[in-house]
Amino acid sequence: MEALGLLLHGFAVLLTWKTLVLMMVGLVLGIFVGVLPGLGGPNGVAILLPLTFTMDPTSAIVMLSCIYWGALFGGAITSILFNIPGEAWSVATTFDGYPMAQQGRAAEALTAAFTSSFVGSLVAVLLITFLAPMISSFALKFGPPEFFAVYLLTFCSFVGLGREAKHKTVISMSLGLLLAGVGMDTVSGNLRMTFGSAELLRGINFLVAVIGLFGISEILLTMEERLALRGHAASISLRVVLGVWKDLPKYWVTLLRSSFIGCWLGITPGGAIAASFMGYNLAKRFAKDPESFGKGRIEGVFAPETAAHASGTSALLPMLALGIPGSGTAAILLGGLMVWGLNPGPLLFVEHKDFVWGLIASMYLGNVVGLVLVLTTVPIFASILRVPFAAVAPMIVVSCAIGAYAIQNAMFDIWLMLGFGIVGYVFKKIGIPLAPFTLALVLGNRAEDAFRLSMIGSGGNLKVFWSNGLVGSITTLAIVLLFWPVIDGLLGRVGLTQRTNATSR
């Protein structure tokens, strides 16, 4: 097989002491930036990018991509321990990861997160290795209607498959969509809802909102409960790790489903976020006891992490093959490629084989080395929970503030973060789910643009969403998922399914 030969060649390029050392350095740096809330992958990679200018392109990309893998692994740590997602796609990990940490199962949750990250990435890398040429032509099939259909699918699956009261999900989602509209409207070129304020021009940054909604509101809730330490001392040993691994085969359906969703959505830009939510929701939907999700169920960590990482990894493919970055970090890697004189595009795979296959080989090695590295350091990270809350809380608030400020160097964002902290607190008190809000905030703009571009292109004809097999099937699936509870109920009534008990509540 040609791909196999090229891959072996890639490994040959990599296996020198120099690159292996660079790999370790990159991973450690990556985990470090991933752990600091708010700093995250994109900022870390951006800060370290100039260091690599003097290296040859292959060494440089190996180091940078290892920072990327490291940050991906590290991002899960804050989500689970502090309920602060570092990257957009870690949001779904907090749903069950944080409750697990509160129950003293932090080590188990972390092990689950790292392991499933590894599985997701591995599936995606295998896909990249063997399907690279086919996948890049598949991505080209996506025009505005197809993009809109995918976003619609994400939104609909949230409403239809979510377990929260439907009206609360819709309220939360609508508020998110409203706030997503603040700022410049790309399609008309006009400003919306900025009320003459220069600060609102930028729109509301998703990460600022997330840091406030999840991080600050959590601190407020904990304070209300009289500074109680919520996470119990986590005892970690090889036994915990092996225990999680032993149970892994039990969850093969979840892992496989999430990997599939991840790879599929990763190829469309921005897919990692949608993928993690979808992975989570589908796992919940198909579980025998969906009520136990959100209360610290290990599958609730496996599902979004696998999907997010499958998607994050396969997102590198459109970046290399088409020059479309699938994530903030991928966008900075893209900038790096150009500095080294490599222009991402269809010809990259032909003209710079050494580089491309070196990078793909580094995905394999980086993931294996990264998994070992994070697992051996789990005790260190989990021990953060043993520090009294009164000491940790101010540090979390400060690093949240730094993170919110650093995204756009704007003081205004800190106030915005605090505001969202209060919104998050109120939402939690009155039982409005936060996830649909954040999802709408991050995808709202893209969905709106895709919809309006489709309308301009088709002259306002809605039939464009059924104009070919691809977009038609995605749109139809979205509508089916939206009305799933009704459909499921009807099917149950005519005796076509046994799952009536799942919808009868």
Partner 1 sequence: MKAAIALAAALCGTPAFAGWEPTKPVEIVVAAGAGGASDQMARMMQAAIQKNNLMKQPMVVSLKGGASGAEALMYMKSSEGDPNKVLIAYSLIYMLPLSAKIPFNWRELTPVSVIALDQFVLWDNSAGPKTVKEFIEAAKAASSPFKMGGTGSKREDHVLTVFLEQKTGAKFSYLPYKSGGEAATQLVGNHTEANVNNPSENLEVWRAGQVRPLCVFDKERISYTSKVTDTQSWADIPTCKEQGVDVQYLMLRAMFLPGKVTAEQQAFFVELFHKVTQTAEYKDYMEKQALKPIFLTGKDMVQFLEEDDAINKALMTEAGFVAK
Residues between 452 and 471 that touch partner 1 (CB under 8 A) = 453, 456-459
Amino acid in position 17: W
143 near partner 1, rule: CB under 8 A: yes
Rounded to whole angstroms, the Cα distance separating 404 from 418 reads: 10
Strand partners, 184: 191
335 near partner 1, rule: CB under 8 A: yes
385 near partner 1, rule: CB under 8 A: no
Of 259, 206, 210, nearest in space to 78 by CA: 210
Rounded to whole angstroms, the Cα distance separating 504 from 213 reads: 32
121 Cβ contact partners less than 8 Å away, ≥ 6 residues apart: 69, 72, 309, 310, 312, 313, 363, 367
Rounded to whole angstroms, the Cα distance separating 490 from 493 reads: 5
| Nearer to partner 1 (CB atom), residue 23 or residue 464 | 464
Residues between 201 and 230 that touch partner 1 (CB under 8 A) = 201-203
186 near partner 1, rule: CB under 8 A: yes
| Nearer to partner 1 (CB atom), residue 195 or residue 249 | 195
Q: Which stretch binds partner 1 (CB under 8 A): 44-52, 82-90, 114-122, 481-489?
A: 44-52
Mask: binding to partner 1, 268-307, rule CB under 8 A, as x and -? ----------------------------------------
Q: How far is the CB of 148 from partner 1 (least distance, A)?
A: 12
| Nearer to partner 1 (CB atom), residue 344 or residue 433 | 344
Q: In this structure, what token pair is assigned to residue 306?
A: 């696998």
Q: How far is the CB of 33 from partner 1 (least distance, A)?
A: 9
Angle between helices 411-430 and 389-408 (to 10 degrees): 130
Q: Which of 101, 324, 385, 401 binds partner 1 (CB under 8 A)?
A: 324
Query: What does the H/E/C string look like for 318-363?
Result: HHHHHCCCCCHHHHHHHHHHHHCCCCCCCCHHHHCHHHHHHHHHHH
| Nearer to partner 1 (CB atom), residue 303 or residue 320 | 320
Rg (CA), the chain: 22
Task: Tell me whether strands 183-184 and 191-192 are parallel, antiparallel or unpaired.
Answer: antiparallel
354 near partner 1, rule: CB under 8 A: no
Residues between 394 and 413 that touch partner 1 (CB under 8 A) = 408-409
322 near partner 1, rule: CB under 8 A: yes
Query: What residue ranges in 97-234 does DSSP mark as E strands?
Result: 183-184, 191-192
Q: Which of 17, 134, 190, 498 binds partner 1 (CB under 8 A)?
A: 190
41 near partner 1, rule: CB under 8 A: no
Please report, for residues 142, 197, 205, 207, 231, the alpha-carbon distance to residue 441 in angstroms, rounded to integers and kept in the order given: 22, 20, 9, 10, 30
Mask: binding to partner 1, 88-127, rule CB under 8 A, as x and -? ----------------------------------------
Q: How far is the CB of 49 from partner 1 (least distance, A)?
A: 8
Q: In this structure, what token pair is assigned to residue 433?
A: 């789910």
Cβ 180 vs Cβ 464: under 8 Å: no
Binding site for partner 1 (CB under 8 A): 46-48, 50-51, 53-54, 139-144, 183-191, 198, 201-203, 322-325, 331-332, 334-335, 338-339, 343-348, 408-409, 449, 453, 456-459
